[in-house]
Amino acid sequence: MKHYDDKSEFDETFKRYESIDFPDKNKVYGKMMRTLEGEEKTQKFFQFVKPAISTVIAAVIFLFGGYYLFTNFILEENTSEEFRNGEGQGQGSSNPYYQELEQEIYDVFGKAVHVPVHESLQLGTAWIPHNQTIVGDVTSREPSGVILAYGLEEHLESNTDEFHLLFGEPQKLLTSTYLKDEHSIVVVSVLERMGAYAKEMEIADHTVSYHYDQRVPTMIDVMLLHVRLDDLVYLFDYSLVDGHTEEDAIAFVESFIKQVEGRK
């Protein structure tokens, strides 16, 4: 690279101006001197500023790059690790389908939900209802719980269009099947809070409140059982028809509690 002698270059410039004969030669000489000095100061300023700018840009890239890496890879991996360790899921059944379902519920609902496993009934519907709030021009939707419906395999509907017609698109259906109300033998609702019933019984060392009612709109006689586990309320709506009894309802809740306790 060629190096210039700044002093020689300045001197040659001044000598050329000294050879010019006009009255304001000194003024021109002084103006030129100030211009060249200004250029020299500007060069020195940018020699100092350029490395600083490069450092700032590198820091910004590092900061945002690190944030992206943390949120998209490290945090996601930690969340998955928590789920595998049981911190972010009900971790329910050894059945991979149920484990995957619990992960989906956790991703949408943000709570670790245990999905009950019934010995003779199929899980036909799993969905997350959303509450819709409209404030001015802003519409927000928040998950309000989880609903799980169990029935006979022959009653599972593979066409879920009716579900979306009844409940609307904002509701999150997690299963590829759908059980109509009249075919839902057990409906389990998972809620963050709900008042208990007046009557109580002990099931597997847990206090379970219960109540008898009729399911709307089918008007089927049901036994409702309310139990709180891991800061969530599990409400079992068990149909007392077609040979299903109170003992069956109690046995299902008992097996569920043991299922949950066995994972801890």
Please state the domain extents for the chain: 6-66, 96-261
- Which is nearest to 79 in space by CA: 88, 70, 91? 88
* Digit-coded pLDDT (tens) for 153-164: 999 999 888 888
Amino acid at 174: L
* Cα separation, 137 vs 155, whole angstroms: 42
* Digit-coded pLDDT (tens) for 15-39: 443 444 444 444 444 544 454 455 5
CB 145 within 8 A of CB 129: yes
pTM greater than 0.85 (yes/no) = no
